[in-house]
């Protein structure tokens, strides 16, 4: 039986190659997905902070409702005001890192 100079047989080399292939095909895409989801969670949190700050601005200056767009860290957030019956709420929209359109809303209890 022929062996290479390091003492590994062809079967051992094939098993090693198979294991590394499985790691590359399963773990690498999973880690990329986890990193994108982590970035989306940070973006979601940032959007809620921008919306909260916008609502606080409206508390002091009612003309701040007209402000529609806001940028933060190369992400464009769009703020919209919606009215349902007697209640009014501010919504923020943005594109996440996998190009999904996201929207979060907070109720506004101003006058």
Q: For residue 97, with 0-12 CB atoms within 10 Å meaning exposed, 13-18 middle and 19 or more buried, which class applies?
A: middle
Sheet holding 101-108, edge to edge: 69-72, 75-84, 87-95, 101-108
Q: Give me the long-range contacts of 57-66 (CB less than 8 A, separation at least 24).
A: 58/90, 58/108, 58/110, 59/110, 62/110
pLDDT for 74 equals 75
> Rg of the chain's alpha carbons, rounded to an integer?
26
Residue 24 vs residues 31, 79, 102: alpha-carbon distances, Å:
10, 41, 31
pLDDT for 40 equals 92
Domain-wise residue ranges, the chain? 12-108
Q: Would you call 73 helix, strand, or coil by DSSP?
A: coil
Residues 28-87 pLDDT 10s: 899 999 999 999 999 999 999 988 988 888 877 666 666 667 676 678 889 888 888 888
- The tokens for 49 are 């902070």
Q: Tokens 């190369």 sit at which residue?
A: 74
The pTM assigned to this predicted structure is: 0.69
Q: Tokens 């508390």 sit at which residue?
A: 59
Average pLDDT over residues 87-100: 86
């Amino acid at each position: 039986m022929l062996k290479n100079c390091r003492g590994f047989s062809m079967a051992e080399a094939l098993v090693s190659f198979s294991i590394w292939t499985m790691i590359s095909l399963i773990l690498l895409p999973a880690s990329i997905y986890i990193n994108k989801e982590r970035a989306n969670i940070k973006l979601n949190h940032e959007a809620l902070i921008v919306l909260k700050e916008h609502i606080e601005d409206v508390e002091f200056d009612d003309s701040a409702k007209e402000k529609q767009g806001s940028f933060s860290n190369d992400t464009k957030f769009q703020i919209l005001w919606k009215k349902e019956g007697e209640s009014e709420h501010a919504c923020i929209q943005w594109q996440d890192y996998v190009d999904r359109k996201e929207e979060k809303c907070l109720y506004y209890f101003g006058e």
